[in-house]
Amino acid sequence: MSSVDLKAVRAKLRTLSGSQQSIETLSLYFIHKKAQAKNFAAIWFEEIMAVPPDRKLCLLYLANDVLQRGRYCTSRCNTGVHQ
């Protein structure tokens, strides 16, 4: 992943609002680019350690949404393959 993409991800995390739409949009972006999951997780961790406590909640909501949607997509895809 290029440094430009990493900078874009950092910018997206820094401008994340607490709205459901903002969290879902970034969550779907992360799921779509799942090949870069390790890079995204590292950037997310750096950001959560650097932001004030009120911003940490938004980042935790994002992590939860990624996990929940990823689990749903995986179970749905696996069910379709085994039928």
Tens of pLDDT along 42-59? 999 999 999 999 899 999
Q: Taking Cα atoms as reference points, which of 23, 29, 6, 11 lies closest to residue 57?
A: 23
With a cut of 70, say whether residue 9 has pLDDT above it. yes
Would you say 23 and 58 are in contact if contact means Cβ atoms under 8 Å apart? yes
Which tops the pLDDT comparison, 7 or 4? Answer: 7
**To which residue do tokens 């992943």 refer?**
1
Residue 44: both structure tokens together: 């997310």
Which tops the pLDDT comparison, 5 or 50? Answer: 50
**pLDDT interval class at 82 (50, 70, 90):** very low
- Average pLDDT on 60-79 reads 78
**pTM of full prediction above 0.75:** yes
